[in-house]
Homo-oligomer: A and B are copies of this chain.
């Protein structure tokens, strides 16, 4: 009662949500107004959001998906030839980044990478022959095979893959090994130097690392990533700390290992010369988390964001294997000398798996120095992370942000929050040249297309309304 009496004895205070007209009028009359940010949901999602909000089981489904997404404990356990991990590759299949794609729809860099893979495998003698063959080769997304690949993300039978395993469940995910920056296959380059490097990675890098891992035992990637966030990495486009910590973990085994010291030294130098080496391992760790969080009925948590250079596609936990796609957006970025936005392909790569698990664009507050690579300001990087908490279900228990006093990174993008706020997930990424064969031209920032989330929210609501169509 005292509380209610108090209300009568004090001045009224107004909370105004949404458009400013009312708040402005009150303020002009001298009233105290607390403005609450609010805006209508993204058009076309109103009914779906209402339907999903009425699902009494949704909150616990989302909690379960978040717990799975943030609860995997990824360990690097080995290296294998790709066809051992994914047998269909031995029959000629090629994997690529992003949602499903046919040769006819491929962008320049995706064509370049597929051509390069066929040259590397010895299935074609020159780029022309490889191009003709590529039109007939079966293509499937990496994401359909427990794998993730940066940029074009092409995986062929002979490439060495990193094997990342969840300690508790034995679940596995795979990634290629990072080639470095510049003229590299994943950016669509296929010059002889690119193919030679891939052969060296197959003959030396993969086996030497496999032998080193046999000595070290499993390396706890989650712990390395968590430490790297304390050291200025975002886990997507800045991986200097993660790469350094990985080299520290591998170092004694490379010093004391068997086989030619020159090979072990060359492997140390290769990783030492490539601050992005850790990226692919972070992606495999991300894919492990993504797989664990998939297929929880009713959950609107995003489990995949991936781009094939033509389309951007997402998947939700509650809609399982279904892709929701939109045209791949352009990237706002910084360009390497000699290149400009005119040379840029649209957004490309499975690397947005990092954002999906609370790294990359979600964790930019950890990485003020990344703005030298992808553009923007350090203050903007912190703001970007702060904004992302509005669209995530929670915070990552292991990945923490020192500048935010140890707060967990925004983790578990909720498609309903994206649709309700109109705030799109922020991704930082590399930029490939639009012509096949060019390679990397820059790096920058991009927003996931809102259309994917509109379709996904509607797709989830339709599934909830009745049994799925198929």
Give the B-binding residues of A (Cβ under 8 A): 227, 230-232, 240-241, 244-245, 247-249, 251-252, 254-256, 261-262, 264-265, 268-269, 272, 368-369, 371-372, 377-379, 382, 402-406
Contact = CB atoms under 8 A, between A and B. Distances in A.
A255 B372 CA distance: 33
A404 B377 CA distance: 9
A264 B403 CA distance: 37
Contacts of A245: 244
The 3 closest A-B pairs by CB, nearest first: A368-B402, A244-B244, A369-B402
B402 A377 contact: no
Contacts of A247: 244, 247-248, 251
**How many of these chains are in the complex?**
2
Contacts of A368: 402-403
A245 B243 CA distance: 10
B272 A252 contact: yes
Contact of A252 (B244, B252, B269, B382): B269
Nearest to A227: B240
Given A232-B232, A244-B244, A244-B245, 14 more contacts: A230-B232, A230-B369, A231-B231, A231-B369, A232-B402, A244-B248, A251-B251, A251-B254, A255-B264, A368-B402, A377-B405, A378-B402, A378-B404, A378-B405
B244 A268 contact: no
A371 B403 CA distance: 10
Nearest to A382: B403
A254 to B, nearest CB: 5
B255 A261 contact: yes
The A interface, classified by DSSP as helix, strand, loop or mixed, is helix
Contact of A265 (B244, B256, B404): B256
Contacts of A256: 261-262, 264-265
A166 B404 CA distance: 38
A232 B403 CA distance: 10
A225 to B, nearest CB: 14
A369 B244 CA distance: 17
Nearest to A254: B255
A265 B256 CA distance: 6
A258 to B, nearest CB: 10
Contacts of A252: 265, 268-269, 272
28 contacts: A230-B369, A232-B232, A232-B241, A232-B402, A241-B244, A244-B244, A244-B247, A244-B248, A247-B247, A247-B251, A251-B254, A251-B268, A251-B272, A252-B265, A252-B269, A255-B255, A255-B261, A255-B264, A255-B268, A256-B264, A256-B265, A368-B402, A372-B406, A378-B402, A378-B403, A378-B405, A379-B405, A382-B403
A261 B402 CA distance: 38
A429 B410 CA distance: 33
A369 B400 CA distance: 10
**Most interface-central of A265, A372, A382 (chain B CB within 10 A):** A265
A256 B263 CA distance: 9
Which has the most chain B C-beta neighbours within 10 Å: A272, A368, A377, A378? A368
B272 A265 contact: no
A204 to B, nearest CB: 13
A371 B247 CA distance: 26
Contacts of A406: 372, 378
Contact of A231 (B232, B251, B254, B255): B232
A248 B269 CA distance: 8
Which of A241, A248, A249, A404 is most buried by chain B, counting CB atoms within 10 A of its CB?
A: A248
A75 to B, nearest CB: 18
A403 B371 CA distance: 10
A226 B255 CA distance: 28
Nearest to A267: B255
Contacts of A241: 231-232, 241, 244
Contacts of A268: 251-252, 255
A245 B389 CA distance: 33
